[in-house]
């Protein structure tokens, strides 16, 4: 009799067990949505700092290919003509009044780009989370956007900007709805919130993101992507000094 | 060369007529300097101001052709003598006006342009075509009139030949710059032939990362022993290190050696101060910068003449008070006994400098 009961319970639980995702599977689905072979888009950063009356607006056009190559050109009036080229872990800049590109020291990749709450590493990084982090599922939590898986990510590589992250993944769309970034000290440094996603090439892709500086009051950057093309063929010559100095 | 500039100008007019994409931009720069000093126990204060309006034009009639120019309108107030190293302030000048063709891997630039091949932050001996002023916030300089052909050998390397043709006023100059990348470093191998003196200059510049940011320039001018006009051989070297930490802090330091300088300050009178940035042979420079999360920047810079022991300290402050509008103030403190390079005899012990920069 007992054996029959156990067998019946197992039959009931079997589909549930089948449907339960491992933390790695959850993050893998997030990577499938947010990681791309290439991207081309127009971006707008709205930068609010503390009590500043007016936010700063930075507009740019960006392309990126794989993990190693990215090219950004700013188009807003104050920075028009400023270009950045990322090649592996190195960065070059060409100012609007310069003829030659200048290499930027690698340690400056950790600095905020153009005064925003995004570092150069944040903006051009396209690596999958599973490549960089170990994942632990904490449970489920209800956010305004819907039910989310709550996961903890701890770095498994040494060279990384944030050693620990907390991430809330939409249980339906498998998009990271909220991410908290922690420093080595354990202090919460930044919090990212996805405001809007769009379906592009079968992926739920975040197109409006807010990055908040949790160490300062009323300090955040809203990052908006428009005219997005994902996984398109991009010539490697677009990621070169020739393009930078054109 | 005026014919070439005129041709480039015609190119620009052509671009306007075919409704090519034309972008205008500009900068307005207002600088005020107040300096104090003592003259026979009388203290004095003097004011010098500089207003500069830069207008930039950028036309792209096609993906292969680009016409660019920068017009500068500048005037000092009240009228003063020319600033050293800048050749005077013109009321209006064409700093750059050039056409760039980019067929395939080649970039051909014709007209007036300003090549800046130096990589260090303060002392840049390989900026062969640009004057250097480290204590005035001058915005830009007049370029050279010439032709440059640059061929991109790979994504990160190139070879450039530059020619400044001879004219009634000057001899021609030919230069080359081979740029390549290996490891985490950019390297530039530079050669210049000066038609006036028949001197040759060989240079090596490098910039990259060894945990710290590293930059350096080596300059050597060969004397032509067969030419009585040729100057003595000269070696110069500039090396710099930089690092940023804790997100908001940036430090840098550099060393500069110039064989053409004078180790004894009493020999400075043999040098022409208007044609060179420094008088001594050895210098140390350093900078410490704090940049707040609101993009306010506070820094402290210094330049030491290791020969005569004089130095400049300059704390400064910069802030973007409105979008595209930057305010900066700095205080230059000159220290050194009489006759030394940074002594207070020229402009007093303190020079207060303020500027407003508006970009549009």
Residue B14 belongs to what H/E stretch? Answer: helix B2-17
pLDDT for the residue numbered B259: 94
Asked whether residue A49 is domain-assigned, the answer is yes
Asked whether residue A2 is domain-assigned, the answer is no
Return residues 152-211 of A near B (CB < 8 Å): none
Of the pLDDT bands very low, low, confident and very high (cuts 50, 70, 90), residue B85 is very low
The pairing of strands B158-164 and B144-152 is antiparallel
* Cβ of residue A241 closer than 8 Å to a chain B Cβ: yes
Contacts of residue A242 in chain B, CB cutoff 8 Å?
102, 105, 107, 152, 155, 158
- Of the candidates A243, A246, A98, A239, the residue with the CA atom closest to the CA atom of residue B100: A246
- Give chain A's domain count: 1
Return residues 220-279 of B near A (CB < 8 Å): 242-245, 247
* Cβ of residue B104 closer than 8 Å to a chain A Cβ: no
| Average pLDDT, integer, range B106-131 | 91
Measured in whole angstroms, the distance separating CA B29 from the mean position of its chain's CA atoms is 17
Split chain A (246 residues) into runs of 10 and give each run's mean pLDDT: 62 53 85 82 90 86 89 89 88 87 85 78 69 89 91 85 89 91 88 92 89 88 92 92 92
Tens of pLDDT, residues B313-335: 999 999 988 888 899 999 999 99
| Average pLDDT, integer, range B70-76 | 85
Of the pLDDT bands very low, low, confident and very high (cuts 50, 70, 90), residue B10 is low
Contacts of B55 (CB under 8 A, 6+ apart): B24, B25, B26, B70, B71, B72, B73
Asked whether residue A9 is domain-assigned, the answer is no
Considering CB atoms only, which of B105, B158, B293 is closest to A219? B293
Tens of pLDDT, residues B205-260: 999 999 899 999 999 998 766 655 556 789 999 999 999 887 789 999 999 999 99
> Is 0.95 topped by the overall pTM?
no
pLDDT for the residue numbered B263: 94
Contacts of residue A115 in chain B, CB cutoff 8 Å?
295, 320
Contacts of residue B140 in chain A, CB cutoff 8 Å?
97
Of the pLDDT bands very low, low, confident and very high (cuts 50, 70, 90), residue B83 is very low
Chain B residue with the nearest C-alpha to that of A106: B209
- The CATH number of whichever domain residue A135 belongs to comes to 2.50.20.10
| Average pLDDT, integer, range B34-49 | 70
Q: Read off φ and ψ for residue B68, nearest 5 degrees.
A: -135, 155
Tens of pLDDT, residues B127-180: 998 876 665 444 577 889 999 999 999 999 999 999 998 875 567 889 999 999
Asked whether residue A15 is domain-assigned, the answer is no
Asked whether residue A31 is domain-assigned, the answer is yes
Of the pLDDT bands very low, low, confident and very high (cuts 50, 70, 90), residue B86 is very low
* Cβ of residue A219 closer than 8 Å to a chain B Cβ: yes
Cβ contact (<8 Å) for B359 and A99? no
| Average pLDDT, integer, range B276-296 | 89
Distance in angstroms (rounded) separating the CA atoms of residues A75 and A71 = 13
Cβ contact (<8 Å) for A242 and B158? yes
DSSP letters along B312-331, please?
EEEEEEEEEEETTEEEEEEE
Residue A166 belongs to what H/E stretch? Answer: strand A164-170
* Cβ of residue A96 closer than 8 Å to a chain B Cβ: yes
Chain B residue with the nearest C-alpha to that of A243: B155
pLDDT for the residue numbered A59: 93
Asked whether residue A182 is domain-assigned, the answer is yes
pLDDT for the residue numbered A126: 60
- Which of A90, A96, A100 has the most B C-beta neighbours within 10 Å, making it the best mutation to test the interface with B? A100
Asked whether residue A199 is domain-assigned, the answer is yes
Structural domain range at position A124: 21-244
CA distances from A3 to A7, A8, A11, A18 (A): 6, 9, 12, 22
Contacts of residue A99 in chain B, CB cutoff 8 Å?
109, 113-116
Cβ contact (<8 Å) for B212 and A81? no
Considering CB atoms only, which of A97, A102, A105 is closest to B70? A97
pLDDT for the residue numbered A109: 79
pLDDT for the residue numbered B82: 42
CB atoms within 10 A of CB A44: 16
Asked whether residue A63 is domain-assigned, the answer is yes
Chain B residue with the nearest C-alpha to that of A113: B295
Question: How far from each other are the two terminal CA atoms of chain B, in whole angstroms?
Answer: 31
- Of the candidates B242, B259, B253, the residue with the CA atom closest to the CA atom of residue B307: B259
Compute the mean pLDDT over every residue in chain B, rounded to the nearest whole number: 84
Torsion over CA: A142, A147, A148, A150 (sign)? positive
Cβ contact (<8 Å) for A108 and B360? no
* ipTM for this model: 0.84
pLDDT for the residue numbered B223: 77
Contacts of residue A240 in chain B, CB cutoff 8 Å?
152, 154-156
């Amino acid at each position: 009799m007992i054996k029959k009961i156990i067998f019946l319970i197992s039959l009931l639980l079997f589909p549930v067990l089948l449907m339960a995702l491992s933390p790695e599977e959850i993050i893998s689905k997030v990577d499938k949505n947010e990681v791309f072979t290439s991207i081309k888009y127009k971006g707008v950063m709205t930068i609010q700092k503390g009590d500043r009356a007016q936010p700063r607006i930075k507009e740019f056009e960006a392309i990126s290919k794989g993990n190693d190559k990215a090219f950004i050109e700013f188009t807003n009036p104050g920075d028009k003509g400023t270009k950045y080229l990322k090649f592996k872990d190195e960065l070059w800049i060409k100012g609007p009044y310069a003829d030659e590109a200048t290499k930027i020291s690698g340690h400056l990749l950790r600095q905020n780009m153009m005064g925003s709450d995004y570092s150069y590493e944040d903006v051009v990084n396209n690596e999958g989370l599973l490549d960089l982090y170990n994942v632990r599922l904490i449970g489920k939590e209800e956010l305004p956007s819907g039910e989310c898986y709550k996961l903890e990510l701890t770095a498994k590589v040494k060279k990384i900007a944030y050693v620990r992250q907390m991430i809330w993944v939409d249980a339906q769309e498998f998009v990271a709805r909220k991410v908290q970034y922690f420093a080595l000290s354990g202090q919460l440094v930044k919090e990212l919130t996805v405001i809007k996603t769009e379906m592009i090439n079968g992926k739920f892709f975040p197109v409006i993101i807010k990055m908040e500086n949790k160490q300062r009051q009323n300090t955040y950057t809203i990052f908006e992507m428009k005219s997005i093309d994902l996984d398109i063929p991009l010539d490697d010559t677009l990621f070169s000094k020739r393009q930078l100095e054109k | 060369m005026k014919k070439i500039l005129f041709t480039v100008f015609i190119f620009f007019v052509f671009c306007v007529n075919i409704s090519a994409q034309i972008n205008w931009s500009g900068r307005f720069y207002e600088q005020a300097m107040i300096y104090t000093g003592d003259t026979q126990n009388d203290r004095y204060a003097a004011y010098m101001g500089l207003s500069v309006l830069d207008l930039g034009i950028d036309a792209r009639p096609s993906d292969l052709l680009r016409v660019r120019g920068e017009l500068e309108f500048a005037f000092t107030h009240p009228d003063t003598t020319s600033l050293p190293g800048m050749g005077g302030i013109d009321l209006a000048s064409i700093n750059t006006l050039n056409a760039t063709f980019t067929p395939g891997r080649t970039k051909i630039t014709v007209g007036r342009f300003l090549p800046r091949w130096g990589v260090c932050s303060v002392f840049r001996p390989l900026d062969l075509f640009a004057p250097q002023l480290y204590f005035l916030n001058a915005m830009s300089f007049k370029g050279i009139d010439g032709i440059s052909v640059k061929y991109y050998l790979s994504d990160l390397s190139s070879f450039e030949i530059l020619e400044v043709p001879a004219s009634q006023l000057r001899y021609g100059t030919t230069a080359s710059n081979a740029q390549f990348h290996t490891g985490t470093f950019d390297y530039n191998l530079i050669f210049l032939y000066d038609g006036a003196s028949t001197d040759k200059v060989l240079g090596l510049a490098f910039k990259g990362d060894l945990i710290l940011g590293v930059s350096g320039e080596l300059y050597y001018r060969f004397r032509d022993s067969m030419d009585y006009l040729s100057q003595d051989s000269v070696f110069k070297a500039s090396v710099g290190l930089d690092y940023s930490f804790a997100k908001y802090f940036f430090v840098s330091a550099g060393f500069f050696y110039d064989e053409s300088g004078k180790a004894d300050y009493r020999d400075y009178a043999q040098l022409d101060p208007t044609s060179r940035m420094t008088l001594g042979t050895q210098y140390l420079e350093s900078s410490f910068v704090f940049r707040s999360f609101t993009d306010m920047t506070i820094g402290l810079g210094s330049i030491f003449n290791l020969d005569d022991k004089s130095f400049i300290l300059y704390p400064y402050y910069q802030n973007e008070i409105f979008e595209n509008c930057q305010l900066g103030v700095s205080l230059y403190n000159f220290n050194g006994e009489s006759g030394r390079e940074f002594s207070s005899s020229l402009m007093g012990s303190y020079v207060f400098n303020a500027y407003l920069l508006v970009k549009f």
